[in-house]
Structures are given as structure tokens and as C-alpha cells.
Structure 1
């Protein structure tokens, strides 16, 4: 008997999509934070703007939800990848997932350190990791499409429909 669940739980699926939406908000609406950060580093910061506050609140929300998601994953597990999938693709999938988790924790942490301590090195790290996160999200999405349309597997469906 396998210890891996047949599919993701409703909570895992909900966390996946809520975190995705929050990260999309961060990528699409970061201008307010960029302006505030430039003002802070120039010494002309006059107080938080709505855009900067949105970025901080959403970033910290991502951090909390990712920690929750990781806890659920470690406790409940996740479904196995298809056995017929080549080992190299399984390795890439596992590596990508763990790198995504690491970046979804490190990007908000580095942003918080940069913002709350006015640490430009943390801000630079935040920018680099944000770019790597964007690339990994794109790779993750491409992998899901590859699974669905080339390998004809149900891997993509599992993140939409709860399983046992």
C-alpha cells in the first residue's frame, strides 16, 4: 500500500491557486512599491502609499500561505508522478517544486528585510530572486502543459479536482 495520496486535497488546491493569484498581483502591481523603495533609498520617503502597502500585505500573505501549504504537503503528502514518466522529467519536476517553495519563502523574506530595515543588499537579492521565481513559474506552467498535451497525463487535472 502506497503512503502517497491519490490526489491533492481541496485545501492544497485552494492554497495553490490563491498563492498563484497573489504572486500574479505582486508581478502585475509592483509599481507602487518600486516608487516607495526609490524614495526610501533617496531619503525622500514621505510615508506609505497604497501601492507599497498592498505589496507588503500581499507579500507577507504569500509567505504565510506558503508555509501553511508546505506544512500540509509535509503532513499529507502529494500524489506520485506517473510511473511511466521518464526519470529525468520526474527529477526536474521535483527540483522545480522545491525551488518554487524556497523562492516563495525567500522572496517575501528578503523583501521584508529590505523594506523594514532599508537594506539595499536584501532589496537587490529580492529583485534577483523575484526574476528567478518568474522563470520557475513559467517553467512550472510549461511543464503542466507538456504533461497535458504531449504526455497526455492527468497531472494538470489533479490541481483542479480534489482526489482521495
Structure 2
């Protein structure tokens, strides 16, 4: 069993472990691949949405289906990750990470959960509910998510080169 110490979030105690579990790591990388697929193969869903908004018939497309299924899977995996975060906990930030960066990292991780969930929900609302505001929100969130991903990826060399810690190893090897 990992060593754990409680941490606080809005007055609620959360466990803190020495590392992420294999399940947490697996879910991180599965969501990464799914999100990449959503962006790489977005043209089919964009074309289908354009046809739909113009009142045209939409023929079945495996890529459109994959986009919808991918969004549902992402939401499911985000909820699973949140459940694991509350039940198992997460490792603490590296000791040499300055306080403001620890806070930024914490906010960014919660932001990822929120934006990924909101992308899935707004995507569903635009198709199922024909809600134009959801489509607009989905398009804005897509840009926000790309910016967050860029910062998340850039944090790896920053941690390695500037802070001289190997925070990336936590997403490769499960903690003890």
C-alpha cells in the first residue's frame, strides 16, 4: 500500500500517495491518445456538423461515429480518473517546485478534468439537443484544451532542465 498523507481541497481531505497507480497512468495515456484522435480526425465531424446545420442528410461515417464514441469514452475515463483521485490520491508536487508553480499545476490538473468533461458534454448537447451555444462553447473549449496541452507538454522539459527533477517518470512507472 502506498504511503499516503492527507491534503485539503475545498475543506475535503484527499489522500496523497507516493506515485500514480498503473490504472491512473494507463487512463492518462488512453485519454491522451483519444484526445489526439479527436483532433487528428476532426474534419469528418466538422463536415457532418456543417451538413447538419444546413439541413442536409448526413450519411453514416465511421470517423463521425469514432468522434462521438471517443467523446463518450473520454468523459467516462475522466470520471474514472476523478474517482481514483479521490479514493487513491495523487503524489505530491516535487519538493523543489516553487509554491506558485505547485498552485498552477494543481489548478491546471483540475482544469483538464473540467475542460475534457465540458468538451464531451457540449459535444453531446450540440448533436442531441441541437444547441447552438453548446457548439460555440465546444469550439472555444477546443482552443483552450490545445493551449492547456501545450503548457502541459512544455512543463516536462521545464521540470527536467530548469527544476532538475524527473516529474515525467510519475506518468511512466507506477508509484510504490
Give the TM-score category using the shorter length: over 0.9
What TM-score do the two structures reach when normalised by structure 2?
0.89
The alignment status of 1:92 with 2:94, answered yes or no, reads: no
Q: Which runs of 5+ in 1 are unaligned?
A: none
2-side partners of 1:161 and 1:46: how far apart? 44
1:2 to partner: Cα distance: 4.5
The alpha-carbon distance between structure 1 residues 9 and 147, as it changes in their structure 2 partners (threshold 3 A), is same
1-side partners of 2:89 and 2:156: how far apart? 19
**Aligned match of 2:26:** 14
1:49 to partner: Cα distance: 1.9
Cα displacement string for residues 46-74 of structure 1 (whole angstroms, at most 9, x for unaligned residues): 34322211110011110001100111011
2-side partners of 1:48 and 1:106: how far apart? 25
1-side partners of 2:156 and 2:103: how far apart? 14
**Aligned match of 1:72:** 84
**Aligned match of 1:30:** 42
State the number of aligned residues. 164
What TM-score do the two structures reach when normalised by structure 1?
0.96
**Aligned match of 1:159:** 171
Of 138-147 and 102-111, more deviation after overlay is shown by 138-147
**Aligned match of 1:50:** 62
- Matching residue within 108, 112, 122 for 2:134: 122
- Matching residue within 159, 162, 174 for 1:147: 159
1-side partners of 2:30 and 2:103: how far apart? 26
In the alignment, is the contact (CA less than 8 A) between 1:13 and 1:159 conserved in 2? yes
Q: Please tell me the root mean square deviation across aligned C-alpha atoms, in Å.
A: 1.2
In the alignment, is the contact (CA less than 8 A) between 1:148 and 1:154 conserved in 2? yes
- Matching residue within 71, 85, 100 for 1:59: 71
1-side partners of 2:96 and 2:162: how far apart? 13
Secondary structure at 2:167's aligned position in 1?
Answer: coil
Q: Which has the higher helix share?
A: 1
The alpha-carbon distance between structure 1 residues 143 and 68, as it changes in their structure 2 partners (threshold 3 A), is same
Of 48-57 and 122-131, more deviation after overlay is shown by 48-57
